Amino acid sequence: MATTSDREALAGVKDEYMYGFSMPEEYVFKSRRGLDHEIVDQISVMKNEPEWMRDFATARWTSSCPSQCPRGALT
């Protein structure tokens, strides 16, 4: 909870960024929460990777992440 001194210190702070620079986020790729085979494949397709690289990424994910991630962390 803000005290009176906190409110006084913040009284002069502007609502807008002083230099006027702001840009909305423009995602190249925005996935749903979590990481699974489908998202790994979507990222690979988005990056226009060749099929062998996509297979390598999927194999790497399959061999490492599920055994090392806590249950429920992948969804």
> For residue 22, is it within any domain?
no
Domain assignment present for 56: yes
**Residue 39 located in a structural domain:** yes
State the residue range of the domain holding 37: 33-75
Residue 4 pLDDT level (bands cut at 50, 70, 90): confident
Cβ atoms of residues 65 and 74 within 8 Å: yes
Residue 73 forms part of a structural domain: yes
How many domains are there within the chain? Answer: 1
pTM exceeding the 0.75 threshold for the entire prediction = no
**Contacts of 15 by beta carbon, 8 Å cutoff, 6+ apart:** none
> What is the average pLDDT across 59-70?
69
Residue 74 is assigned to a structural domain of this protein: yes
* Residue 25 domain-assigned (yes or no): no
In this prediction, residues 46-65 reach a mean pLDDT of: 85
Q: Is residue 57 part of a domain?
A: yes
